[in-house]
A and B are shown apart, each in its own frame.
Chain A
Amino acid sequence: SQTIHQWPATLVQPVGSPLSLECTVEGTSNPNLYWYRQAAGRGLQLLFYSVGIGQISSEVPQNLSASRPQDRQFILSSKKLLLSDSGFYLCASPDRRGGNTIYFGEGSWLTVV
């Protein structure tokens, strides 16, 4: 099955600083890719999804952006972080064998101070 890698795993950033989270996928090609955010004690909120290189759809207006420079690479960025950007960010992709199950990377914990 495919494997999803994310980094960094944990980061503490000051307000106003930039952000870059990276996600790569192994074991599949041309995957759909997603960025989710989970605030403390809350459910997952879909931020962006991508069906191919350079194709990004945004689900909610926000301070973040996403890019897909390569087939199996998905990047989440911000030019200036806000306190409200703190949370657990998860990269995800559907099962490469079809079906509707979603698999997640290990996640990135972001604390904006």
Chain B
Amino acid sequence: RKEVEQDPGPFNVPEGATVAFNCTYSNSASQSFFWYRQDCRKEPKLLMSVYSSGNEDGRFTAQLNRASQYISLLIRDSKLSDSATYLCVVNTNAGKSTFGDGTTLTVKP
């Protein structure tokens, strides 16, 4: 079993739709959590951190459920520019970062 698992995707949604991605992790000692965005043939870039109480950044909402060991990313009112691959990242307190394989989102007109 992988340490970090994501919805396999791809997700194909129309503009304006709401889409949610889930990510589960196996290491209960994991301390910090992030969502990264990766455009085609580009490096991953930090989208947002995920805090225990949940956090929102514009149209993006991240949630953490430590008991069930999963995190989620919700995108509201999808834009064409949201099309990308979204990577879930989980860090242990030893500083080790483990990346999910990513979920690909395509937003269509």
A residues near B (Cβ < 8 Å) are 32, 41-44, 46, 88, 90, 94, 99-107, 109
A103 to B46, CA, bound (A): 8
Provide the residues of chain B in CB contact with A46, threshold 8 Å: 97
Question: Which of B11-19, B72-80, B99-107 interfaces with chain A?
Answer: B99-107
Assuming the A-B contacts A42-B101, A43-B100, A43-B102, are A90 and B43 also in contact, with contact meaning beta carbons closer than 8 angstroms in the complex?
yes
Set B41, B44, B49, B101: member contacting A104, Cβ < 8 A: B44
Interface contact tally, CB-CB below 8 A? 41
Provide the residues of chain A in CB contact with B100, threshold 8 Å: 43
Majority DSSP secondary structure for residues of B touching A: strand
In this complex, how many residues of chain B approach chain A with their Cβ under 8 Å: the count is 20
A62 to B42, CA, bound (A): 24
Closest B residue to A95 by CB, please name it: B46
**B101 A100 Cβ-Cβ under 8 A:** no
Set B31, B32, B87: member contacting A43, Cβ < 8 A: B87
**B87 A104 Cβ-Cβ under 8 A:** no
For the complex with contacts A43-B99, A101-B34, A102-B97, 12 further pairs of A-B residues with Cβ separation under 8 Å are: A42-B101, A43-B4, A43-B87, A43-B100, A44-B87, A88-B41, A90-B43, A94-B95, A101-B46, A102-B46, A104-B44, A107-B41
A105 to B42, CA, bound (A): 9
Can you list 19 A-B pairs, Cβ within 8 angstroms, ordered by A? Answer: A41-B101, A43-B4, A43-B100, A43-B101, A43-B102, A90-B43, A90-B44, A99-B32, A100-B32, A100-B34, A100-B91, A100-B97, A101-B46, A102-B46, A102-B89, A104-B44, A105-B43, A106-B42, A106-B43
A37 to B56, CA, bound (A): 31
Q: Does B108 contact A (CB under 8 A)?
A: no
A5 to B31, CA, bound (A): 29
